């Protein structure tokens, strides 16, 4: 019996389970959540990983970016999410300027795990030194490369990354460095599908894509996007799972099934 099937005995997933899913070729279905109610619903639908994203700054708080989100915000929402789930693995984002030094990163991660209940923390950028120090203290880490939303004021706008060969080669090296530093997971955001495929095949750790093509080991989307709640311009990888669904639960189950059966992302959702 496959332990990851939705109707199997519910047990709390661990980082080892995610590694096994990559080895077995089972796609990892991930969504964001920010409260206990949605967390419980995603858990019921069989979502493998819940990301408490700093995207809450935009979809919950109404900010124009993730930059204003504080560590207190992340701890609070992580605590809400972990109280709501029984099976899903929970990752919490480390917000802007909460890991500018090793000491600060350790303190921030400790709060997210001790007070927020997170099983893993995620940080943006090629910070192999910080990843190494966190892992040395027993803190599971998820890296994040490609589009880095916390750097929006430097980037100027949200746009695809890694289209130039030099940038692509650097991203591959950064991914290898993050893995070597001890990260257990990597998120690739808004990168060409071919580049994401190369990185996914070179790494032993699972790679979760958002706007990074079908060949990643799993997919993550913002919950509010798949429910078509957010207004404004939609990214290329956007897909509405709510239209035609009888309930939010059904929409989430459709998303999970699409990831597992590799019908999402389709070619039109990829760069």
- Catalytic positions are 189
Q: Where do we find the tokens 């080669």?
A: 169
The angle subtended at Cα 11 by Cα 139 and Cα 262, nearest 5°, is 85
* CB-CB contact of 28 with 255 (8 Å): no
The secondary structure of 200-245, three-state, reads HHHCCCCEEEECCCCCCCEEEECHHHHCCCCCCCCCCCCCCCCCCC
* CB-CB contact of 32 with 57 (8 Å): no
Pairing of strands 120-124, 141-146: parallel
Element holding 152 (H helix, E strand): helix 152-155
* CB-CB contact of 29 with 47 (8 Å): yes
Backbone angles phi, psi at 219, to 5 degrees: -130, 150
DSSP conformation letters of 119-149: SEEEEES--HHHHHHHHHTT--EEEEEES-G
């Amino acid at each position: 019996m496959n332990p990851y099937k939705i109707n199997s005995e519910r047990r709390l997933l661990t980082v080892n389970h995610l590694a096994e899913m990559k080895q077995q070729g089972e796609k990892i279905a991930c969504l964001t959540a920010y409260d206990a109610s949605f967390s419980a619903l995603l858990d019921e639908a069989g979502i493998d990983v819940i990301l408490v994203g700093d995207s809450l700054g935009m979809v919950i708080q109404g900010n124009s970016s993730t930059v204003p989100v504080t560590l207190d915000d992340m701890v609070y929402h992580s605590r809400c999410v972990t109280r709501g789930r029984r099976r899903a693995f929970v990752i919490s984002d480390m917000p802007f300027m909460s890991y500018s030094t090793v000491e600060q990163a350790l303190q921030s991660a400790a709060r997210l795990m001790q007070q927020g209940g997170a099983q893993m923390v995620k940080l943006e950028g090629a910070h192999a030194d910080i990843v190494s120090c966190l892992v040395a203290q027993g803190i599971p880490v998820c890296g994040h490369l490609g589009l880095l939303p916390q750097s929006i004021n430097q980037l100027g706008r949200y746009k695809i990354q890694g289209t130039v060969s030099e940038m692509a080669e650097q991203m591959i090296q950064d991914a290898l460095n993050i893995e070597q530093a001890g990260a257990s997971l990597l998120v690739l955001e808004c990168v060409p599908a071919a580049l994401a495929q190369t990185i996914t095949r070179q790494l032993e750790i699972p790679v979760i894509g958002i706007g990074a093509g079908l060949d990643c080991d799993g997919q993550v989307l913002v919950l509010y996007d798949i429910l078509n709640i957010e207004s404004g311009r939609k990214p290329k990888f956007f897909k509405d799972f709510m239209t035609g669904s009888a309930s939010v639960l059904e929409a989430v189950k459709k998303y999970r099934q699409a990831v597992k059966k590799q019908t999402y992302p389709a070619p039109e959702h990829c760069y």
